[in-house]
Amino acid sequence: MVGTIANSSFHPATASIQMLGGLILRTVITGGAGFIGSHLCERFLSDGHEVICVDNLLTGTPRNIAHLIDQARFRFVQHNVSEPIEIDGPVDHVLHFASPASPVDYLTHPIPTLKVGSLGTHNALGLAKAKDARFLLASTSEVYGDPEVHPQREDYWGHVNPIGPRGCYDEAKRFAEAITMAYHRYHGVKTRIVRIFNTYGPRMRLNDGRVLPNFMKQALLGQPITVYGRGDQTRSFCYVSDLVEGIVRLLNTDYSDPVNLGNPAEITVLELAQEIIALVEGTQSSIVYEELPQDDPKRRKPDITRAQTLLGWQPVIDRAVGLKRTLEYFRSVV
């Protein structure tokens, strides 16, 4: 099946429109009904773009974009980007964010994860090539695997188990980076690659299995908070608005090599659990310990020197502020 999105018309006087050569910019976002994708849809709409959101709703949800549906410059098409997609008319940007992204999701859907990283990236790149559009790939810190270098810089090649349970996601993203660079070098496509570290904020799925929503759900329900291993593994959490700002800045550069985006404020998983228990007033939750999953990274912290130098970017939302905002959202959906 080929998904086709027709040209749309709207009245440019109704909004502040960003123009390029007198035309409204058209931006395609695959995975646009997901957590990060929906925030990108919002941002590009606010910047005056026409936004075409493509999502098969495997892990995304219409709820994330319900507030955008009636906007004249927003279009949604339910389609699996692992199948060919055609879009009528010009396209200025293609942002490829379609993929399961949490361990629960990609362990449940390993083959669709591999397909969207390979076939889906190929199709999205083909669209960018056909439309002479800028292309941005959402890669991940998971390309570094369980890293032997700390903090992780973009010139580190990683320590990944290709046949382990997490390999379906790690290797899909590593392949996606490889084909993106091949399209850049061989076809001259204007490509960008962002390596996204742990990101959080409103519209995360409460049951997606990632550590932060897991802890918040358990604390809100008064359940035991599950810490794997001894809880001394580290993560670095970036608030979603900071990430989106970095992505927009990267898209507008001419830089083709990968760029880390994340918050270098490192925290142990146990410390995060303690912070969330303190944040959720009146919770009866206590901490319980379970066996560490296979190939779970022991340390995760981005070196963001490249982003600081190239983009003039660094996170500005303090974790205490971001956690409070995220908790308010989860209270509304728990």
CA 303-227-315 angle, to 5 degrees, is 25
- Predicted local distance difference test score (pLDDT) of residue 23: 73
The predicted model scores a pTM of 0.92
CATH for 3-199+238-263+301-317?
3.40.50.720
- Predicted local distance difference test score (pLDDT) of residue 8: 33
Is 329 part of the annotated catalytic residue set? Answer: no
Q: Averaged over 57-69, what is the pLDDT? A: 97
Higher-confidence residue of 333 and 23: namely: 333
List the chain domain ranges: 3-199+238-263+301-317
How many C-alpha atoms does 314 have within 13 Å on its Cβ side? 9
Nearest-angstrom CA–CA distance, 3 and 54: 9
Distances in Å between the Cα of 177 and the Cα atoms of 183, 198, 211, 239 are 10, 18, 26, 24
For 278-309, give the DSSP string: HHSTT----EEEEPPPTT--S---B--HHHHH
Nearest-angstrom CA–CA distance, 140 and 117: 12
Strands 85-87 and 3-5: parallel
Q: Which residues pair with 140 in a beta bridge?
A: 196
Q: Averaged over 289-310, what is the pLDDT? A: 91
- Predicted local distance difference test score (pLDDT) of residue 192: 98
Q: Annotated catalytic residue: which of 169, 183, 200, 239? A: 169
- Predicted local distance difference test score (pLDDT) of residue 34: 98
Q: What is the mean pLDDT of the chain?
A: 92
Strands 19-20 and 23-24: antiparallel
pLDDT tens for 20-55 read 444 789 999 999 999 999 999 999 999 999 999 999
